[in-house]
Amino acid sequence: MKFTLKIWRQRSHNEKGAFVSYPLENVSPEMSMLECLDVLNETLIVRGEEPVAFDHDCREGICGSCGFLINGVAHGPERATTVCQLTMRHFRSGEELIIEPWRAKAFPLIKDLIVDRRSFDRIIEAGGYISVSTGQAPDGNAVLVGKDLADQAMDAAVCIGCGACVAACPNGSAALFTGAKIAHLGILPQGKSERDGRAVQMVGQMNAELFGDCTNIGECTGVCPKGISLEVIAMMNRDYLHASWRRREALEATIPPALERNTHRN
Amino acid sequence: MMLNPNIPSGPIEQAWDKARFDMKLVSPANKRRHSLIVVGSGLAGASASASLGELGYNLKCFCFQDSPRRAHSIAAQGGINAAKNYPNDGDSVYRLFYDTLKGGDFRAREANVYRLAQISVNIIDQCVAQGVPFAREYGGSLANRSFGGAQVSRTFYARGQTGQQLLLGAYQALERQVHAGTVTMIPRTEMLDLIVIDGQARGIVARNLVDGALSVHIADAVILASGGYGNVYYLSTNARGSNATAIWRAYKRGALFANPCFTQIHPTCIPVSGDYQSKLTLMSESLRNDGRIWVPKMKGDRRSPNQIPEDERDYYLERRYPSFGNLVPRDVASRNAKQVCDEDRGVGKSGLGVYLDFSDAISRFGENIIRDRYGNLFEMYQRITDEDPYKGPMRIYPAIHYTMGGLWVDYQLQSTIPGLFVLGEANFSDHGANRLGASALMQGLADGYFIIPYTVGNYLATNRFARVDESQQEIQNTVNTVRESINKLLSIRGERTVDSFHRALGKIVWESCGMTRTARALDTAVGDIRALREEFWQNVTVTGSSDDLNQNLEKAGRVADFFELAELMCIDARERNESCGGHFREESQTAEGEALRDDEHYSYVAAWGYRGTGEPPELTKEPLEFHNLHPSQRSYK
């Protein structure tokens, strides 16, 4: 197979970027999209040119490092598949593939296809956990969790934090990502006692990071490599609504402390 | 040099209690005065950082990825062992201890392994409390499954994504400490050297992978949790970024490296499909619970699997090992797969593959139950191969997956450099010559949650720490070494890419120091590796500059270290003229072709010391003593 890869090249956050076209021949249909970039980079290096920078690590769709838009779609045309697992057999030989980084205000570009997703870490930092220190846990079977609840929690917990949901959303919203963690922890009995505070803190942080608001468009779930359902956004909204009444003083009084440390943005 | 493993005296059941009682404590008020560095944010690194942060230490955690949640522990699929005995099927701490030591072919320390089995039960409790959504029975209790090398069901799991869920639990605990201000997380930063002052590990030199800046970080102790070195082989199931640089640079600063040749080859990976391939994908070993492994009886049989009638199939594991069948340990399963392929009975285009067949399980339990157990693994297989495993058998082949060897540590997880601790896959401690399935997650979390918080405290309480200044000569020398080696890589401007060297190196190591090893092949390999390394330093091409995001430069530094490590692996494999666990020397086998261990001559840990590149390393032996279990020849017949 052969392709033309039209790739966004940008040396750094402060420099201007542009698309550059690279022809690529002798592509085998079993190759993954990232392996195509590997092959391209090998030829660029031999020619003394700078290879295309892109984030990747596990190459089995679980670490969440990789991701870019292919012809405008986050992670490309296959459902529930990250670009590291997207094989070329899903494209037609001769096609032009436009490859560009996630574009969202909350994900500043670092180089080529690499963006800064630390805003996701800061959302988790604001409350995406159960406050149990090492050594405090009761026996694993002390609290029973019905299989249906455990399965529901797991459906939300599978999020890999890749950022495709944000990139696909016309508003650049992180509602699916944030909702997935709020749902995962809120469904489980272990996470119940911090449910209100968690929703207030995490949603507050999400808003402070310049993610857009959710308007229920649903592009996020369409591109999510783990197929996380829009239901988690409903759960987040419900938890936030409950909490904003029950914890109204707290809501008025403070901004989440993590906000002040958010100094990376230009 | 004498190696003191510092194993507490007395009965093994009380060793850890005794060790903890003998430890000096740091008072709560003094903890925040101590600074610590953790390199790596996988299960071991994240759990250590979280737990030490909770205790009040002042800690910096480094990872090379953009977020600590990316660490490769995330990709572990099958599960985590614990001696809970919830299924009431005869498990106990002692049995987990026995299975792990036997599975490791009696090349691990009894006391370490016993402690691991003891702690296993606390890990499950901790993870459940953190909200890890383990699989449950309908009644709400935790579900278990069985795994290779064991006859009880003691493996806890979260679908086929147990590593992901455990890592996210540890990552969230870590982020909670970032929020609390005890932990500073430093992502996209790579440790490039260890700072040793007056014999103590006192910090690291790190490179910011975005702007290339080198920085010095001083601390009272350094904890390495940087994972294993499977990527020496180029193709492995490791993440592409996994590397040995942190432990290798520590080795070059004086830490001993133990049992480097003990590497694990996982039997159930998706076979290689072409030269461009960048990594191998593992299918969880839990598949062997319900899948049956077979090849055609006839040589060169190229019929499609559905056309091969039942009586012309060879279920070779069930035939040769009737009591364990498809659940024999990984090394045994891998070697048998290689053997049938060598006999020209392999399947698939390349002939390097065997079938893993679920048709019996599907007709017994129904497709839904199988989907519930392995749904995501089946999907993954289909996505990569374009074949539907519900309709026909999977094809699998062994691949490098885990490295049991690593930096030598004593019972306190301290290396031979005082103040340098090593956790998880980066150390050598608990798995001997072969690791059992679902034990890596257990060890990483045992080290991070429940061992290092005690032992590092003891070190801090019993040592004095002189004030260290960044401008000090030792530190400036270390920074200069790092800078020179980066400049060297950029100045060669040769004609061959880093990946091309790495691929060539991987091929040498896979062929000579892979599933089977011989003295002759290892001798040749050492020569070949040296020649290739010399070519690397004259002919590699690294584009770009050092003060920029430069992935090619990062890779070059890691591959340079893999060259030296590969040589040490071959030297170690050459020296150990016995077969044990994952290390199979053709010179040492029984009449039936099974591994033949030699306890009389090789019942020791081989710990190697650095004496200069190109110089032969120095071997120190730590004898292994067995007071509780009698080393028996492993038999899974």
B523 inside 8 A of chain A by CB = no
Q: Are A69 and A100 in contact (CB under 8 A)?
A: yes
Interchain CB distance below 8 Å, A134 and B172: no
Answer whether residue A230 shows pLDDT above 90. yes
Interface of B with A in 163-192 (CB under 8 A): 164-165, 168, 171-173, 175-176, 178-179, 185, 187
The candidate with the shortest Cα–Cα distance to A58, out of B230, B170, B50, is: B230
| Per-residue confidence (pLDDT) for residue A264, from 0 to 100 | 44
Answer whether residue B153 shows pLDDT above 50. yes
pLDDT more than 70, % of chain B: 100
Residues of A in contact with B494 (CB under 8 A): none
Provide the shortest C-alpha distance from residue B608 to chain A (in Å). Answer: 30
| Per-residue confidence (pLDDT) for residue A266, from 0 to 100 | 38
The angle subtended at Cα A129 by Cα A123 and Cα A130, nearest 5°, is: 155
B504 inside 8 A of chain A by CB = no
Interchain CB distance below 8 Å, B126 and A137: yes
Interface of B with A in 21-60 (CB under 8 A): 47, 50-51, 54
B273 inside 8 A of chain A by CB = yes
Answer whether residue A23 shows pLDDT above 70. yes
In a domain, B71, yes or no: no
User: Which tops the pLDDT comparison, B149 or B275?
Assistant: B275
Answer whether residue B151 shows pLDDT above 90. no
For residues B133 and A147, what is the distance between their CA atoms, to the nearest angstrom? 10
- From the list B70, B127, B134, the residue facing A65 with the nearest CB is B70
The angle subtended at Cα B633 by Cα B629 and Cα B635, nearest 5°, is: 110
- Range B190-203 average pLDDT: 98
- From the list A35, A117, A147, the residue facing B136 with the nearest CB is A147
Provide the shortest C-alpha distance from residue A11 to chain B (in Å). Answer: 9
| Per-residue confidence (pLDDT) for residue B2, from 0 to 100 | 86
| Per-residue confidence (pLDDT) for residue A255, from 0 to 100 | 53
Q: What is the pLDDT of residues B439-469, one digit of tens each?
A: 999 999 999 999 999 999 999 999 999 999 9
Q: Which of A129, A159, A260 to mutate to test the interface with B (most CBs of B within 10 A)?
A: A129
CATH topology of domain A118-261: Fumarate Reductase Iron-sulfur Protein; Chain B, domain 2 (1.10.1060)
| Per-residue confidence (pLDDT) for residue B566, from 0 to 100 | 98
Interchain CB distance below 8 Å, A57 and B65: yes
Interchain CB distance below 8 Å, A62 and B124: no
Interface of B with A in 247-266 (CB under 8 A): none
pLDDT more than 90, % of chain B: 89
Residue of B nearest to A65 (CA): B70
Domain ranges of chain A: 3-100, 118-261
Answer whether residue A258 shows pLDDT above 70. no
The candidate with the shortest Cα–Cα distance to A181, out of A127, A227, A140, is: A127
Answer whether residue B99 shows pLDDT above 80. yes
For residues B547 and B214, what is the distance between their CA atoms, to the nearest angstrom? 9
The candidate with the shortest Cα–Cα distance to B187, out of B40, B71, B63, B72, is: B63
Residue type, A148: D
- The length of chain B in residues reads 637
Residue of B nearest to A107 (CA): B66
Cα end-to-end distance, chain B, whole Å? 41
Tell me the average pLDDT of chain B. 95
- Range B335-358 average pLDDT: 93
Q: What is the pLDDT of residues B161-182, one digit of tens each?
A: 999 999 999 999 999 999 999 9
Residues of A in contact with B122 (CB under 8 A): 135, 137
Interchain CB distance below 8 Å, A140 and B142: yes
Interchain CB distance below 8 Å, A65 and B51: no
Q: Which residue has the tokens 């670009």?
A: A83
Residues of B in contact with A144 (CB under 8 A): 136, 139-141
Q: Which of B122, B134, B136, B231 to mutate to test the interface with A (most CBs of A within 10 A)?
A: B136
Interface predicted TM-score of the whole assembly (ipTM), two decimals: 0.95
In a domain, B530, yes or no: no
Tokens of B280: 């191998």
Residues of A in contact with B499 (CB under 8 A): 38, 42
- From the list B47, B128, B278, the residue facing A34 with the nearest CB is B278
Residue of B nearest to A39 (CA): B276
Q: Which of A27, A62, A144, A188 to mutate to test the interface with B (most CBs of B within 10 A)?
A: A62
Residues of B in contact with A260 (CB under 8 A): none
Parallel, antiparallel or unpaired: strands B354-357 and B394-403: antiparallel
Residue of A nearest to B495 (CA): A46
Q: What is the pLDDT of residues A149-190, one digit of tens each?
A: 999 999 999 999 999 999 999 999 999 999 999 999 999 999
| Per-residue confidence (pLDDT) for residue B307, from 0 to 100 | 95
Interchain CB distance below 8 Å, B453 and A147: no
Interchain CB distance below 8 Å, A190 and B128: yes
Task: Tell me chain B's radius of gyration from C-alpha atoms.
Answer: 24
Q: What is the pLDDT of residues A179-216, one digit of tens each?
A: 999 999 999 999 999 999 999 999 999 999 999 999 99
Interchain CB distance below 8 Å, A140 and B384: no
How far, in Å, are A107, A117, B184, B391, B405 from residue B70 at the CA level? 17, 12, 17, 34, 23
Q: What is the pLDDT of residues B529-565, one digit of tens each?
A: 999 999 999 999 999 999 999 999 999 999 999 999 9
| Per-residue confidence (pLDDT) for residue A253, from 0 to 100 | 61
| Per-residue confidence (pLDDT) for residue A263, from 0 to 100 | 44
B126 inside 8 A of chain A by CB = yes
H helix intervals, B463-545 = 473-492, 498-512, 519-539
Provide the shortest C-alpha distance from residue A214 to chain B (in Å). Answer: 24
Interchain CB distance below 8 Å, A129 and B172: yes
Helices B162-180 and B110-130: angle between axes, nearest 10 degrees:
70
- From the list B71, B383, B543, the residue facing A81 with the nearest CB is B383
How many structural domains is chain B composed of? Answer: 1
- Range B373-399 average pLDDT: 90
| Per-residue confidence (pLDDT) for residue B284, from 0 to 100 | 82
Residues of A in contact with B140 (CB under 8 A): 144-147
Residues of B in contact with A180 (CB under 8 A): none
Q: Which of B59, B132, B141, B542 to mutate to test the interface with A (most CBs of A within 10 A)?
A: B132
| Per-residue confidence (pLDDT) for residue A254, from 0 to 100 | 54
Q: Which own/partner contact pairs does B545-550 have at CB distance under 8 Å and 24+ positions apart?
A: B545/B212, B545/B490, B546/B212, B546/B486, B546/B487, B546/B490, B547/B211, B547/B212, B547/B213, B548/A11, B548/A12, B548/A111, B548/B211, B548/B212, B549/A12, B549/A53, B549/A110, B549/A111, B549/A114, B549/B209, B549/B210, B549/B211, B549/B212, B550/B212
Helices A195-208 and A175-187: angle between axes, nearest 10 degrees:
170
| pLDDT confidence band for B328 (50 / 70 / 90) | confident
| pLDDT confidence band for B68 (50 / 70 / 90) | very high
Answer whether residue B488 shows pLDDT above 90. yes
B372 inside 8 A of chain A by CB = no
Residue type, B356: L
Q: What is the pLDDT of residues B616-633, one digit of tens each?
A: 999 999 999 999 999 988
Q: What is the pLDDT of residues B110-144, one digit of tens each?
A: 999 999 999 999 999 999 999 999 999 999 999 99
H or E segment and range at residue B217:
strand B214-218
Provide the shortest C-alpha distance from residue A131 to chain B (in Å). Answer: 7
Residue of B nearest to A122 (CA): B175
Q: What is the CATH number of the domain that holds B396?
A: 3.90.700.10
* Residue B366 belongs to domain spanning: 265-401
Tokens of B363: 């007709």
Interchain CB distance below 8 Å, A118 and B240: no
Using CB atoms within 10 A of its CB, is residue B575 exposed (0-12), middle (13-18) or buried (19+)? middle
Residue A165 phi/psi, 5-degree rounding, is: -60, -40
A·B CB contacts under 8 A = 220
Residues of B in contact with A135 (CB under 8 A): 122, 126, 450
- Range A113-119 average pLDDT: 98
Residue of B nearest to A43 (CA): B497
Tokens of B269: 């990976």
Kindly report the CATH number that applies to the domain delimited by A3-100: 3.10.20.30
Interchain CB distance below 8 Å, A64 and B70: yes
Residues of B in contact with A34 (CB under 8 A): 278
- From the list B165, B273, B549, the residue facing A157 with the nearest CB is B165
- From the list B75, B158, B240, the residue facing A62 with the nearest CB is B75
Residues of B in contact with A117 (CB under 8 A): 66-67
Interchain CB distance below 8 Å, A128 and B497: no
Q: What is the pLDDT of residues B423-433, one digit of tens each?
A: 999 999 999 99
